[in-house]
């Protein structure tokens, strides 16, 4: 199967291989060889909601999905997790999209250009209070220049999934700003 290069996610601060890129590379070969993929089982592992600092409700969920790949009268199952959060009603669809993306990557052994095991990660002291405070501040911010400053600060103070989550929040907050604010007017 083809190599799918990860791309930089704008202001997210990390790179990723998106669902579109995977499907774009895989679909022609799947159609040519009669390979189909469909979800056969989805199970909610956890779900909940909380209020952001600006009063919005953030919904989150984690699911386990089993996808069946069928070809030539045979089939194979791949089981994956999908986890997502959203301020509207999109947490579950986002989790389903992530699960499908990873099922495709796992089944076809898609290389994306990095190896997370190359860098040793060390468990840090619990900084969930600092993380929550940063997320709250980002959620309340309405000035693009302050969001840029938050981006610089979180890159210095957080790592791993906390950094990823905060950078996504910054990007979402920027997207929610009126057009005149995005330009700094």
CATH of the domain at 42: 3.30.390.80
- Structurally, the chain folds into a number of domains equal to 2
For residues 132 and 103, state if they share a domain.
no
Last residue of a domain, one of 108, 140, 161: 108
Contact 72, 91 (CB under 8 A): no
Residue 185 reports pLDDT greater than 50 = no
Q: Is residue 73 part of a domain?
A: yes
- The more confidently predicted of residues 17 and 117 is 17
pLDDT band at 122 (very low <50, low <70, confident <90, very high): very low
Q: How many degrees, rounded to 5, is the angle at CA 176 between CA 11 and CA 24?
A: 55
pLDDT band at 114 (very low <50, low <70, confident <90, very high): low
**Amino acid 96: pLDDT:** 92
What pLDDT, in 10s, does the model give residues 20-70? 777 888 888 899 999 999 999 999 998 888 777 778 888 899 999 999 999
Q: Is residue 122 part of a domain?
A: no
**Amino acid 123: pLDDT:** 45
For residues 19 and 59, state if they share a domain.
yes
Q: Which of 90, 31, 85, 28 is nearest to 58 (CA)?
A: 85
For residues 12 and 102, state if they share a domain.
yes
For residues 69 and 136, state if they share a domain.
no
Least confident of 3-7, 72-76, 138-142, 174-178: 3-7
**Amino acid 62: pLDDT:** 93
Residue 169 reports pLDDT greater than 80 = yes
For residues 66 and 138, state if they share a domain.
no
CA distances from 110 to 8, 17, 89, 126, 134 (A): 18, 10, 30, 34, 35
pLDDT band at 1 (very low <50, low <70, confident <90, very high): low
For residues 132 and 99, state if they share a domain.
no
Residue 9 reports pLDDT greater than 70 = no
- The more confidently predicted of residues 83 and 156 is 83
CA dist 184 and 14 (Å) reads 24
Instruction: Look at the block and give the residue holding tokens 């301020």.
Output: 87
Last residue of a domain, one of 76, 108, 140: 108
Q: Is residue 75 part of a domain?
A: yes
Q: Tell me, yes or no, if the pTM score tops 0.75.
A: no
For residues 93 and 30, state if they share a domain.
yes
Contact 57, 87 (CB under 8 A): yes
Range(s) of the domain holding residue 18 = 7-108
For residues 18 and 81, state if they share a domain.
yes
For residues 104 and 21, state if they share a domain.
yes
Strands (E), 52-177: 57-71, 74-86
pLDDT band at 120 (very low <50, low <70, confident <90, very high): very low
In the predicted model, what is the mean pLDDT of residues 87-97?
Answer: 88
CA distances from 163 to 25, 49, 71, 88, 180 (A): 29, 20, 40, 22, 28
CA dist 70 and 49 (Å) reads 37
Helix or strand or coil: residue 83? Answer: strand
């Amino acid at each position: 199967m083809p190599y799918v290069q990860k791309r930089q996610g704008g202001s997210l601060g990390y790179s990723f291989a998106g669902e579109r890129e995977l499907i774009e590379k895989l679909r022609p070969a799947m159609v040519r060889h009669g390979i189909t993929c469909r979800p056969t089982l989805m199970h909610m592992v956890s779900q909940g909601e909380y209020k952001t600092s600006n009063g919005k409700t953030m919904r989150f969920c984690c699911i386990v999905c089993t996808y069946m790949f069928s070809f030539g009268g045979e089939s194979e199952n791949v089981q994956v997790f999908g986890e997502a959060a959203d301020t509207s009603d999109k947490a579950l669809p986002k989790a389903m999209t992530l699960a499908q993306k990873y099922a495709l990557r796992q089944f076809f052994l898609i290389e994306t250009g990095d190896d997370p095991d190359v860098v040793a990660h060390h468990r840090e002291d619990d900084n969930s209070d600092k993380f929550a405070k940063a997320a709250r501040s980002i959620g309340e911010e309405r000035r693009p220049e302050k969001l840029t400053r938050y981006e610089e600060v979180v890159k210095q103070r957080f790592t791993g999934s906390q950094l990823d989550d905060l950078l996504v929040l910054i990007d979402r907050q920027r997207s929610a700003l009126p057009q005149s604010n995005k330009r700094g007017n």
